[in-house]
Structures are given as C-alpha cells and as structure tokens.
Structure 1
Amino acid sequence: MHDYNGSAVLHAIRLISATVTSAETIEALAVFIEAYGFEKIFLGQLVNPMNVPLKDILYLSNWPEELKAARRTRAAILHDPIAFCAVRSKRPFSWAEARAHATRAGRRTVDMVHDYGITHGMMFPMHALESVSGGVSLGGGVKPDLSPTEIAELEIVCQVAYYHLEAMLGPFPYQKVAELTPRETECVQFAAAGKSNWEIAHILGIQEDTVKKTLRRARDKLDAVNRAHLVASAIARHQILP
C-alpha cells in the first residue's frame, strides 16, 4: 500500500508516547493507521463485562456512540469471535479469519459494525505478564491489502498505544495477578502433571500435609474453586508451564 518508511513509524511512536490524555492517544493512532486503509479503532482489555464494570477496565474507541452502546447492551464481547481469538492468539489476524470459525451469534456480532460502514478489520492481540489480555482492533470500509512488513508496522505502533494507555489510565482494580511462591509453583506444576498430593510430597521431600496447605494457598490466590480450576487458572495466567 505504501513504501516502507521507518521514520513514519518512529514519528508515530514519539507522538503517541507524548500524549497525556486518552483522546490524544486515540487521535494520534488514528492518524497513523489512515495510510494503511483503517479509520476506526477499538482498544481494550478482554474481560467479561457482566463481572467487571466498564470504569474498571481499559475500553476506548472512536466508533460511533450508537454502535458502542449497542455492543454494550448486547454484551457483544461474550459472543465476539474476534475477542475469543485475541485471547488465544499471539499474532495479528483479520476479522474475516475469526468470523469464518464463529457460531451464528458470533457472526452476527461481527456483522453489527457493517451498518456503520466498518466492513473489514484486523485485530492485534496484546498480552502482558502483569495484566489481562487485550487487543487493538482496527476497522475500515475497504479491505486492505497489507504486506507482512506493513502488518508488523501496525503491530508495533498499536502496542505502543495500548501499553501507553494502560500505564496512563491504570492501575485497574484486578489487573495485577497474585504471584505464586516458588514452592506453590512447584506443587501446582506437579498437580498439573497429574501427581497426587502424596506423590508431590515424595518428589519434593516434604510432608503431604504441607502439599495440601500449599495448594490451598495457591487456590486462594488464584480464586480457584478446586484442583482442576487451580491448574487451569495457573496456566492461563502464565504461572506454570502448560
């Protein structure tokens, strides 16, 4: 779409990093993405809006207010295949890729934006160790023909904007996850491998009762209701190896 110009990327990074309000950040990002065929931005953390108030999450966009209200009213993120893919993916992907594997409700959620002239887009997932997953979704009315280099340029600038906003507007109430101690991590890691409390105690050379207490503390930290939930939560939060 355009000749590569590293100075344009660096210029955008400097502009975004110097912004002091969320509106300025979104505007600076919007100016940069125009050259790539995009005009609309949704930027936010991917959490269940039924459980977390909007004021407690990073949620910004330059979408029409009517569209934003409609998505909130329908809790669209709970059906949005783009959000689901962003939580699992580490690479940018097109909205069409996510829609192709969506349920009927998911496809309707993606298609909600068509009435507002937003027919094509890309999602850039954001993952950080001390925060929940999020993403920057860029949309427009024309399908862009982007090279791998152009996608990389967009990803870099989107990352700068996302983490700048998260740092500027945070901390958010639930954002930092509780860290497991080394001993808790060991016990949960062996539990994930299917080891019993007795086996974990034998491997680590500690009492079985100590293993039980250690796993109980880990459950409390990660708000897990049972052993399986503890393992799943620890993996999802990058506390243990999958």
Structure 2
Amino acid sequence: MTDLFWSTWEIISLIEQAADQNAIQDCLINIAKIYGFASVFGGIVPPGDMRNSKTEIQARAVVQYFPKGWGARYVDQNYLPRDPILARLQKDRNAFSWSDGYRSCPDPDNVRIIGGEAADFGLVEGFVIPITTLDQRTAALSFGGARDDLSNRDRSALTFLAHFAIGHWLYLRRPNLTRSKPLSPREFDCLLWAAEGKTDWEISVILGISRSTVTKHIASAREKLDAVSKSHAIAIAMRLKILC
C-alpha cells in the first residue's frame, strides 16, 4: 500500500472519531495544511440570493478557516451574493478550481474585486468540491491558497476526504441516528463495483441490469448506511468490513 493510502485512512479514522463540529473542523484544517492550502471554508451551500448575515453563514458552515482579516472583510463587504465561486456552485456539481469559477462568472467586476482582494490575503487559487446530499441539498468545501498544484491523484484523495468529512458532519446533525441495516446482495454488488471506481452505467453492464436500477440500489445502500453520498457510503462500508 502507498503512503497516500495510509495517510488517507488515518485522516478518515480521525474524522470518524470526531464527536462534534469543532473536531471535524480541526480535521478539515489539518487536511488543508497537508495539501498546502492556507484556507478552507464550507458547509451547506446557500441560495444565491441569501443575505450576507454572519449568523446565517455560521448556521450553514462546518468550517471557516482563513488568513487573519479575510473572513471579517468578506462579511463586512457583503461579498457572499456576489461571489463567483458561489455562483458556480448554483449550477455545477463537479469539482472545479477557483480560476474556473472566475472564468465562468458573467460579472467581471465581481471577479476583479473579490478575487483581487482574496489574493491580497494570499488566496490566489483554490479547489472547490461540491457534494450532493441524500435530500438533494448541495454542500461544498473550498480550499484556497497561494497556488493549486495538486496532482490528479491528490485531487481524488482530497475529494474523497471532503465527502467523508461532510458526511460525518451531517450525520452528527441528524436528530435521530439509526443502526445500519444489512445490505441486500444487489446493493452489495453495486457498492462493491462503485468502490472499484466504476460508474453507474459501467456497473449496469457488468451486472446485466439497467442504469436506473444501479442508481436505486446505491441510493438504498446509502440510506441503510446512514451515508450522505456514494463516497461516504463506500468509506463506511469499508470501515465496517462490509467491503474488504
């Protein structure tokens, strides 16, 4: 096994042991530092027209870690509804870089002002990971720093860790925690192939079932494992030795 593999699972173990939001925040800050980032911010993505209320932001956030002064500046200047990254998150569920978010922004003034001021605080480039929850809300984590020179391998590992951290955070916020139910043979097969990196379509070909049936089985497995995403379900299943 590679050092990256073991480092990833050591971090997952720490996230899993986190008993509250503060502990999860500490894990995410540690992850940001490991991957060379100076900031990490994230939680439930607000609607694009949400007022920039500090209380509202805090209610949705799992982590707010910035260079000194940037968080207060962002709130004081009411940048949230104008943020190019938030605008991109309203329509894109794939991971993207800050520069991609800036390029897709229809208002160059927002890019110039917000991107320029962020750069003054050392936040020039970043990597954003959207996560769709079981109830179809969108969560996201945004890592920022002087540069983003992650390899594709690092991006994959960081994306996996982000899904697991957000999943555990949302799990802790649930009013009623239930015991995991056993997976059906078909749910197990679908999750096993998903853990191998296969898409729903590829799994449908392998198992000789429809793509929609694969999607249904994976969604059911997520619910039984109290997971909020496919990656979260895979991580839980591996921890419980359901997948080996």
Question: Match for 1:95: what amino acid?
Answer: W
Question: Match for 1:74: what amino acid?
Answer: Q
Contact 1:79 1:105 in 2 (8 A): no
> 1:167 is matched with which residue?
171
- How many Å apart are 1:11 and its aligned residue? 0.9
> 1:17 is matched with which residue?
16
> 2:86 is matched with which residue?
83
Contact 2:115 2:124 in 1 (8 A): no
> Which of 126, 145, 165 in structure 2 is aligned with 1:121?
126
Contact 1:120 1:140 in 2 (8 A): yes
- How many Å apart are 1:155 and its aligned residue? 0.3
- How many Å apart are 1:140 and its aligned residue? 1.3
Q: Take 1:54 and 1:140, find their aligned partners in 2: how far apart are those partners?
A: 21
Question: Match for 1:100: what amino acid?
Answer: R
> 1:148 is matched with which residue?
152
> Which of 39, 60, 63 in structure 1 is aligned with 2:63?
60
SS of aligned partner of 2:41 = strand
Cα distance 1:139–1:14, how it changes in 2: closer, same or farther (>3 A)?
A: same
Structure 2 residues not aligned, in runs of 5+:
176-244
> 2:74 is matched with which residue?
71
Identity between Structure 1 and Structure 2 (%): 20
SS of aligned partner of 1:90 = coil
Larger Rg, first or second structure (1 or 2) = 1
Cα distance 1:61–1:4, how it changes in 2: closer, same or farther (>3 A)?
A: same
Q: Take 1:63 and 1:170, find their aligned partners in 2: how far apart are those partners?
A: 27
Cα distance 1:111–1:132, how it changes in 2: closer, same or farther (>3 A)?
A: farther
Q: Take 2:3 and 2:109, find their aligned partners in 1: how far apart are those partners?
A: 39
Structure 1 residues not aligned, in runs of 5+:
172-242
Q: Take 2:99 and 2:57, find their aligned partners in 1: how far apart are those partners?
A: 27
Q: Take 1:139 and 1:55, find their aligned partners in 2: how far apart are those partners?
A: 19
Q: CA RMSD in A?
A: 2.4
Contact 1:58 1:166 in 2 (8 A): no
| Deviation sequence 1:173-229 (CA, Å, 0-9, x none) | xxxxxxxxxxxxxxxxxxxxxxxxxxxxxxxxxxxxxxxxxxxxxxxxxxxxxxxxx
> 1:50 is matched with which residue?
51
Q: Take 2:64 and 2:73, find their aligned partners in 1: how far apart are those partners?
A: 14
> 1:111 is matched with which residue?
116
The number of equivalent residue pairs is: 168
Cα distance 1:170–1:60, how it changes in 2: closer, same or farther (>3 A)?
A: farther
Q: Take 2:173 and 2:141, find their aligned partners in 1: how far apart are those partners?
A: 16
Q: Take 1:117 and 1:13, find their aligned partners in 2: how far apart are those partners?
A: 28
> 1:6 is matched with which residue?
5
Question: Match for 2:34: what amino acid?
Answer: A
Contact 1:124 1:136 in 2 (8 A): yes
> 1:193 is matched with which residue?
none
Cα distance 1:74–1:147, how it changes in 2: closer, same or farther (>3 A)?
A: same
Contact 1:86 1:134 in 2 (8 A): no
TM-score by length of 1: 0.61
Q: Take 2:150 and 2:142, find their aligned partners in 1: how far apart are those partners?
A: 15
> 1:37 is matched with which residue?
36
Q: Take 1:147 and 1:79, find their aligned partners in 2: how far apart are those partners?
A: 30
SS of aligned partner of 1:99 = helix
TM-score by length of 2: 0.61
